[in-house]
């Protein structure tokens, strides 16, 4: 194994150990925030799949989290067991995401961004206006936390471990998807749709698939969000939230497996780190994102990859026209 690889595996082990150990040193607030981080990361992972790997801009991920959260809150309140509600939230958002993928077949790039933006606003309006179903602007209060395999998740610590297990599960699913033929097809679509089609990739099917899977990650995240916060309202799932998720993915590094983990962490913890600046943290965050995009448009992980490539020579590449770092190693400033 090469030096960076060994270093990296050690680091991964430390990271996992730290996440497991965190509740022992953190107080209730820190644990809640970490749980929120785990949930947000799942949603960002999904968006990274749609956007980072399959190259489809989506401004609808926040709406999918909302759909998942509302589905879960409504069905569990009606008596459905939580695991079924959880799966249902994923299935619903998978189906809706599949349908939203259809416009992606016809239009791309900014037009797709506009279609998904419209979708987000429509979902908000439905959640707000259809009071008979969603309780409208008042939101749904007192959502109960589930009991999973006999373990009650009422306390923040137990819910945190539940969320962490879910994050691990979805991380594994993502990893599995990416190394499956599907994942390769997604990347081929992003890199060059025409060539992908000529190589026999069913563009239509895989575009819809990328959208549907990415959206269902959002739905699952929503199914966790509802019992975590125990209150949902339409305002939480407005366009701002989708933009926030988009920012997380790009700040972390779109198309990088670890990107969403960092993006979500920065978004949630930055107010904490910048507490000494009083009320100015949003201003500073915004400025930092602009600067990051100017100097390192591949996001934080992309920046590390470039840094790593400079520090350690990349592994010898068999074909000179295929740079080892994939997109990340393409020449950039």
Partner 1 sequence: MMHTLRLRALSRRTALGALVAAAGLLALPGLSTGARAADDVFIPNIVELSGAGAVSGTNWRDGIILAVEELNAKGGILGKKLNVPHLDTQSDASIARAQVQKVMDDKPYVILGPVFSGSVLVTMTQAQQNEIPEIVGGEAAAITQKGNPFVFRTSFGQQASMPKIANYIRDGLKAKSVAVLWVNNDFGKGGRDNFMKEMQARDIKVVADVSTESGQVDFAADVVKLKNANADAVFVYTNEEESARFLKEARKQSLKGAMIGETTLLSQKVIELAGDAANGVKGHVGLSADAPVASLNEFGQKFKKRFNYANDHNAIKGYTAIYMIKAVTEKIGKFDSQAFAKALHGMTITPDKEPGILMEATWDQNGDIDRASFLGEVVNGQQKIVEVLPKIGK
Partner 2 sequence: MSSVLQLLASGLATGAIYALIAVGFSLLWQTSQTINFAQGEFVMVPAFFVLVAMNLGLPFPVAALVGIVVAALVLGVLFKHVIVDPMLRHGVLPLVVATIALSLFMREAVKDFYSAQAQPFPSLVADRDITIFGTVFSAQSLTVIAVAVVVVAALHGFLSHTRLGRMMQATAQNPSVARILGIPVERMILYTFLINAVLCAVASILISPIYLAKFTNGETLGLAAFVAAVIGGFNQARGAMLGGVLLGVLDNLCAAYVSAQYRAAVPLLLLVVIILFRPQGILGRAEERTV
Scan residues 236-295 and list those touching partner 1 (CB under 8 A). Answer: 236, 240, 256-259, 261-262, 265, 269, 271-273, 279, 282
What H or E segment, with its residue span, contains residue 151? Answer: strand 151-152
Query: Which of positions 140-169 make contact with partner 1 (CB under 8 A)?
Result: 141-142, 156
Which residue's CB is nearer to partner 1, number 31 or number 115? 31
Alpha-carbon gap, residue 95 to 131, rounded angstroms:
23
Q: What six digits make up the tokens of 82?
A: 């939580």
Q: What six digits make up the tokens of 114?
A: 């506009």
# chain residues binding partner 1, by CB under 8 A: 74
**Residue 180 exposed, middle or buried by CB count within 10 Å (0-12, 13-18, 19+):** exposed
Residue 247 touches which of partner 1, partner 2, none (CB < 5 to 8 A by kind)? partner 2
Which positions ≥6 away from 318 have C-beta within 8 Å? Answer: none
From candidates 32, 98, 114, 304, binder to partner 2 by CB under 8 A? 114
Using CA atoms of 123, 125, 126, 132 in order, give the dihedral in degrees to the nearest 10. 150
**Residue 4 found at the interface with partner 1 (CB under 8 A):** yes
From candidates 197, 229, 289, 293, binder to partner 1 by CB under 8 A? 229
**Residue 289 found at the interface with partner 2 (CB under 8 A):** yes
Number of helices (H) and strands (E) in the chain: give both, helices first. 14, 2
Alpha-carbon gap, residue 120 to 117, rounded angstroms:
5
**Residue 176 found at the interface with partner 1 (CB under 8 A):** no
Which one of 100-108, 167-175, 265-273, 313-321 is the stretch in contact with partner 2 (CB under 8 A)?
100-108
Alpha carbon 68 to its chain's center: 14
State the DSSP code for 236. G
Q: How far is the CB of 239 from partner 2 (least distance, A)?
A: 8
Alpha-carbon gap, residue 162 to 82, rounded angstroms:
13
Which residue's CB is nearer to partner 1, number 47 or number 187? 187
Evaluate whether 230 touches 145 at the Cβ level (below 8 Å): yes
**Residue 113 found at the interface with partner 2 (CB under 8 A):** yes
**Residue 80 exposed, middle or buried by CB count within 10 Å (0-12, 13-18, 19+):** middle
Window 122-161: contact mask with partner 2 (x via CB under 8 A):
x--x--xx--------------------------------
Q: How far is the CB of 220 from partner 2 (least distance, A)?
A: 25
**Residue 199 found at the interface with partner 2 (CB under 8 A):** no
What are the residues binding partner 2 (CB under 8 A)? 51, 57, 103, 106-107, 109-111, 113-115, 117-118, 121-122, 125, 128-129, 193-194, 243, 246-247, 250-251, 254, 279-280, 282-283, 285-287, 289-290, 293-295, 297-298, 332-333
């Amino acid at each position: 194994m090469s030096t960076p690889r060994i270093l990296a595996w050690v680091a991964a082990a430390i990271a996992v150990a730290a996440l497991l150990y965190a509740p022992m040193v953190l107080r209730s607030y820190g644990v809640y925030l970490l749980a929120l981080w785990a949930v947000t990361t799942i949603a960002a992972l999904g968006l990274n799949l749609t956007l980072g790997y399959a190259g489809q801009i989506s401004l609808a991920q926040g709406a999918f989290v909302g759909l998942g959260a509302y589905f879960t809150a409504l069905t569990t309140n009606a008596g459905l067991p939580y695991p079924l509600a959880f799966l249902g939230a994923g299935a619903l958002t998978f189906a809706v995401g599949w349908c939203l993928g259809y416009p992606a077949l016809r239009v791309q790039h900014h037009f797709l961004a506009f279609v998904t933006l419209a979708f987000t606003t429509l979902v908000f309006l439905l959640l707000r206006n259809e009071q008979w179903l969603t309780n409208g602007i008042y939101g749904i209060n007192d959502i109960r936390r589930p009991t999973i395999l006999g373990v009650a998740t009422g306390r923040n610590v137990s819910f945190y471990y539940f969320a962490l297990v879910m994050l691990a599960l979805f991380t594994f699913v993502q990893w599995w998807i990416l190394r499956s033929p599907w994942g390769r097809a997604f990347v081929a679509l992003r890199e060059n749709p025409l060539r992908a089609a000529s190589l026999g990739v069913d563009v239509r099917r895989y575009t819809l698939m990328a959208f549907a899977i990415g959206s269902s990650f959002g739905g699952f995240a929503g199914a966790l969000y509802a019992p975590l916060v125990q209150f949902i309202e339409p305002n939480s799932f407005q366009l701002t939230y989708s933009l926030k998720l988009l920012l997380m993915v790009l700040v972390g590094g779109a198309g990088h497996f670890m990107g969403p983990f960092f993006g979500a962490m920065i978004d949630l913890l930055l107010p904490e780190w910048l507490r000494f600046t009083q009320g100015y943290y949003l201003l500073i965050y915004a400025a930092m994102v602009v600067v990051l995009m100017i100097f390192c448009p591949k996001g934080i992980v992309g920046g590390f990859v470039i840094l790593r490539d400079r520090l350690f020579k990349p592994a010898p590449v068999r074909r000179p026209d295929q740079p080892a770092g994939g997109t990340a190693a393409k020449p950039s400033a």
